[in-house]
Amino acid sequence: QVQVVESGGGLVQAGGSLRLSCAASGRTFNSYAVGWFRLAPGKEREFVAGINWRSSDTYYADSVKGRFTVSRDNAKNTVYLHMNSLKTEDTGVYYCKAGPWGRPGVSGIFIATRYDYWGQGTQVTVSS
């Protein structure tokens, strides 16, 4: 069993930056896909970014390309979402999801239901 815990959310002004963390316990992220999703009031859950832990290949939604970067730290068994040039529309609860790479794979990395584990989420609020 894998436990996933997100942290790093908060209140920031538009144009600012935040770094979210997704830490795993119970096993390493090795051979896993880790995806970030967000849920905003009145909107559907949205894929933000993902990473193939083994290859370090990264994937981004068009809405965050060039502003967000996903990275990993082997020693800490943690995935980070670096968010720059934040916009008010980035506001939402950000969730980290993880699962064996083969389940989402490249074609399904943006599909939340392809993941087996997720955390409780962390709130990001961007003010104008």
Q: Do 78 and 61 touch, CB atoms closer than 8 A?
A: no
**Mean pLDDT in residue range 83-90:** 98
The answer, yes or no, to whether residue 1 has pLDDT greater than 90, is no
List Cα–Cα distances, 2 to 17, 33, 86, 111, in angstroms. Answer: 29, 13, 30, 19
At 103-128, the pLDDT tens digits run: 999 999 999 999 999 999 999 999 99
Q: What percentage of the chain carries pLDDT values higher than 70?
A: 100
Mean pLDDT across the chain: 96
Please give the pLDDT value at position 21: 98
Q: What percentage of the chain carries pLDDT values higher than 90?
A: 93
Q: Do 59 and 107 touch, CB atoms closer than 8 A?
A: no
The answer, yes or no, to whether residue 88 has pLDDT greater than 90, is yes
At 17-52, the pLDDT tens digits run: 999 999 999 889 999 999 999 999 899 999 999 999
